[in-house]
Structure 1
């Protein structure tokens, strides 16, 4: 039976979730399954360890996408689809008659302005549990026909790891991992702006804190990192390069501290492994919520905020009622202006001090799995169950 896989072209979190669900399927007896991928160009490298029988692109012109999806479904014999956060793809697959499991890891984000973009008629709409559910999103989610609440969709810690929620020391930290995702998001004019502001500040703070070794991971432009690493202020051993999902988890498990632009999947995976985690300043709307939930759950100041002359989070959140795109426009514009501005050195110093404060705040955390414990960590298995249920009722495509 052929299953179509789709992840959002926004960051790497959706591909991490696809990887976690595929791993959960691999760990249980299932009928023979064949996987084919659609779109998801950004996240394909993260799924290289899984058996995906080819990837198929969609036209850039949205008006031609539905016809291409119908052709894809027919020629590949698609029986069901697993889609993470790509509402347009989920709608197109459903319109083509494919029973679709949609995974929404950001249900707290939506308002009435986002209703039209959500696949509320998906066969199963798996909404990931969150620390809080703002009132703006409750009415929207209530109209999801197949709504099913699931726990965090993340890879479970391996048996060789320290164990979920293990208490790790607050220092001294010697090995760090920096994770930057979301830099290829649609609507983001220049992916260099965020790392140009944040990366030198983070490296300087880590070195000042005593870190000797750091690896920079994420979807950064390949030619960018070298120009941002100052040997006089960065840790002695600084390396960079993208990591597949399995390799990322191994590196995460081996480090003493993680600095991350706060994608939710990364925060939950780090919490599941008990890794001390500092949230770098947000680069999109969801990361504002993620950073706040992370600090609240762990009861410590673990967030680095933008200086107020760059971005005021509450002003951004007020734009949500018009839809996510309006808030993103404000965030991207603010970061771009700061990266081009004459006071960018002052911004860098403020960010460096913010990272140092957050690193010191790690000493106040008793257990690093608090966020993961709040929402649970069995979501990958629950989504896998939903997909198998759908496959059991799916009619063969003609």
Structure 2
């Protein structure tokens, strides 16, 4: 969305192979994509990846850092070095629930930007239910193996997604789409369960936007961008259990007080253990998270408790969903605001 506001930019992609491949797939034809590292940079855009900042700043390139999760970071070491950043673009959030972190206070290069989401379109509705699982996978986290991540994702699908689909089918609820970074095996299994008209798997930004405008209800893992996008078009939304460490605070931050957040049963993910792991850093949280989900999928009793949560959330869902209507006050112009700061940083560097 940010690069769409910079249509003449020549783009060099840096990061793990998976993220680069996905980004390349969804960049528009108006962008020139350079293979490998170009001889000269004007500016670097880094999104939610603090460890990447030092390596890029060492090249003498101004860095614009976008952080949609500033409220998640618990330790100073989880923030990028602010003195090496041209602009730190922190996405606005309801600060009455989670205070602004100390490192972001009273700094001239910290810019609070609107929600980075598409400009809202009028919602048509009538299409049915959209299930959204978002990114699912995490990559290149110290101490967190790809094998653990893959097994954790497979366990999440067994515990949450497939029981949800079966429950919707048994109650004759119309499914419009099942979106997210689903692997091919999961997509094949889903195609055998639902009609051919159901969109399944990863969607481009434009396609996902069209799907949401046709939806009557969104059932989603609590990813920041998806929740803000749904709120911007008044799409009733209910939540699935969180997939990763940021989604637990997301669910608490973006919903109405007292709403049923679809949280994991305490026997699967304990709030006390989660908070203790947060203090140990990102790697410890993800290890705890994925291993707990894997263990739950291997337990009939735990799996039954998760199915009960999903059934309860569906049965008790309010007609207007559980998102906080005040989210619209966060604005929708974040992508354009970041793009203008990128231009400013590049001009100063030339």
**Contact 1:211 1:235 (C-alpha < 8 Å) held by counterparts:** no
**Contact 2:164 2:310 (C-alpha < 8 Å) held by counterparts:** yes
1:192 paired residue among 154, 164, 177: 154
The RMSD of aligned alpha carbons is 2.8
Q: Distance in 2 between matches of 1:125 and 1:293?
A: 21
1:36 paired residue among 12, 22, 33: 12
**Contact 1:152 1:377 (C-alpha < 8 Å) held by counterparts:** yes
Aligned length: 336
**Contact 1:21 1:381 (C-alpha < 8 Å) held by counterparts:** yes
Distance 1:225 1:300, change over 3 A: farther
SS at match of 1:148: strand
Partner of 2:66: 103
Distance 1:114 1:43, change over 3 A: farther
Offset of 1:322 from its aligned partner? 2.2
Matched, 1:391 2:346: yes
Matched, 1:254 2:207: no
**How do residues 1-398 of structure 1 correspond to structure 2 at under 5 angstroms?**
20-26=1-7, 32-39=8-15, 40-41=19-20, 43-44=22-23, 47-54=26-33, 56=35, 72-73=37-38, 75=39, 77-112=40-75, 114-115=77-78, 118-120=80-82, 121-132=84-95, 134=98, 138-142=101-105, 146-158=109-121, 161-162=122-123, 175-186=128-139, 187=144, 188-190=149-151, 191-207=153-169, 210-227=172-189, 231=193, 238-296=198-256, 299=257, 301-343=259-301, 345-358=303-316, 360-363=317-320, 370-395=325-350
Measured against aligned partners, the alpha-carbon deviations of 1:311-360 in whole angstroms (never above 9, x if no partner) come to: 123431233222222222221111111112233541353133133145x2
**Contact 2:237 2:320 (C-alpha < 8 Å) held by counterparts:** no
Offset of 1:200 from its aligned partner? 1.7
Structure 2 gaps of 5+ residues are none
**Contact 1:176 1:256 (C-alpha < 8 Å) held by counterparts:** yes
TM-score, normalised relative to structure 1: 0.75
Distance 1:56 1:278, change over 3 A: farther
SS at match of 2:28: coil
Distance 1:258 1:56, change over 3 A: farther
